[in-house]
Amino acid sequence: MATYLADNQTRFLNELMDWLRIPSVSADPKFHADVLRAADFLKARLEEAGVQNVEICPTAGNPIVYGEYMVSPEAKTVLVYGHYDVQPADPYELWNSPPFEPVIKDEKIYARGACDDKGQVYMHVKAFEMMMRDGQGGVPCNIKFMFEGEEEIGSNNLEIFVRANKEKLKADVILISDTGILANDVPSIEVGLRGLSYHEVTVTGPNRDLHSGLYGGAVQNPINALCEMIASLHDENGHITIPGFYDNVDELSADERAEMAKAPFSEDEFKQSIGLPASYGEKGYSSMERTSIRPTLDVNGIWGGYTGEGAKTVIASKAHAKISMRLVPHQTSAEISELFQKHFTSIAPAGVTVEVHPHHGGEPVVTPTDSVAYQAAADAMETTFGKRPVPTRGGGSIPIVAMFKSELGLDTVLLGFGLDSDAIHSPNEHFGVFNFLKGIETIPHFYRNYAAAE
């Protein structure tokens, strides 16, 4: 490991932990002041590292932190994107240590946002500082930093900002660290991401909560009705039953699937790592395929009726669920949202009414592996890991990758350092100290490789 990194790693970790102490939860308005504090913190650290023209750009929602370092008008320009907002941390009682009091345990940093995405954003801040100070040739190309505070709630204002600042954001490629590698000894780069269609549904029956003894049997119970509707969204083979849902799905060839199957993956380890009693999923596909090249439908939350202690004999007036679908190329969020809305409304049984409220969506994307930027990233990882990274198709969604392509005409390199086991969006989210430091070590190699390429 380079001397500068070795000499400064404790400080780097402490700075990150200071940032993780700020609960920048974008989904819940009560954390709004903390979100702004997290943006200010980031601005200050970018300035200290030597980034120029750092500004807090206001939006209709949470601000975007922007800064740049221009070496020459002729040099290539990399636009680095990340987000400083984090997922809600509940249920708090399942955390082994408080989500906003970071601790390092077993060589991992435990905190909400440790990996997604503050930890990975902070790799970029420190990689930049290192290039500025380690005497290894300085910063080899133009870099623009753009970090938003609304990734976990749909990036709506980022899109507006990007549209309004196309000149300012002009670049040759986008670099994002918000994904992962297969294992610490199996480096990989994601070259595909699933899209997202997310809805909140409300089923309404009687106009008020009713006593289940007096009314039970003569009233369509909205919770039972919602369960019935949700159950009908999959058939016995795990296929999604929404008419037209699979029409535009990009089906991989047998060769492509055979190629995918070569990636190291153990079904047993997969099950064991998350305590699954048995495999499950769409018939005819492997677990790896189910989480990458196949679309899905999951209920992310459900609630209705009495959920407190003890027994209350009530028939609720309303039942609610959050339902999301992961999309694959060439499904579009708009198309699938419309199909879902139409279908879900149509399957409401007699005695209830249904409302479907769409949340933000995102488009699926496949990034090129034959580009200069991808090769620069692969070479950088090969240098620092000692192994050529495997290109993989990821299951998650970074909707802004498709947006960057359509609005700025730019491809993205997903140079992420997390692990599937990091429990992002879950209690006890963490990020390996190895991964954090490996990211800081690798990123400067990317810039140098990229700047040097023909």
Which residues, numbered 213-252, are part of the site for a copy of itself (CB under 8 A)?
A: 213-221, 223-224, 226-228, 230-234
In eight-state DSSP terms, residue 388 is P
Per CB under 8 A, the list member of 142, 188, 331, 397 interacting with a copy of itself is 397
Nearest to 420 by CA among 287, 326, 329: 287
Interaction of residue 355 with a copy of itself, rule CB under 8 A: no
In eight-state DSSP terms, residue 386 is S
In eight-state DSSP terms, residue 282 is S
The answer to whether residues 412 and 90 touch, using CB atoms and an 8 Å cutoff, is no
Q: For a copy of itself, which is the closer residue by CB, 79 or 424?
A: 424
Choose one: 45-53, 125-133, 168-176, 267-275; the region binding a copy of itself (CB under 8 A).
Answer: 267-275
Binding residues for a copy of itself restricted to 24-53, rule: CB under 8 A: 26-29
Interaction of residue 338 with a copy of itself, rule CB under 8 A: no
- Residues whose CB falls within 8 Å of the CB of residue 235, separated by 6 or more in sequence, listed in order: 241
Binding residues for a copy of itself restricted to 90-119, rule: CB under 8 A: 90-91, 94
Interaction of residue 353 with a copy of itself, rule CB under 8 A: yes
Q: Which residues are catalytic?
A: 85, 151
Radius of gyration of the chain (CA): 23
Interaction of residue 184 with a copy of itself, rule CB under 8 A: no
**Residue 428 Ramachandran class (φ > 0 left, ψ -120 to 50 alpha, else beta):** left
Per CB under 8 A, the list member of 1, 33, 164, 276 interacting with a copy of itself is 276
273 phi and psi angles, rounded to 5 deg: -65, -25
* Helix 3-20 with 32-49: angle, nearest 10 deg: 160
For the window 131-170, what string marks contact with a copy of itself as x by the rule CB under 8 A? ---------------------xxx----------------
Rounded to a whole number of angstroms, the minimum distance from the CB of residue 275 to a copy of itself is: 3
Rounded to a whole number of angstroms, the minimum distance from the CB of residue 171 to a copy of itself is: 26
Interaction of residue 202 with a copy of itself, rule CB under 8 A: no
Residue 294 vs residues 144, 193, 392: alpha-carbon distances, Å: 34, 11, 14
Amino acid identity for residue 90 in this structure: D
Binding residues for a copy of itself restricted to 285-314, rule: CB under 8 A: 287-288, 290-291, 294-296, 298-314
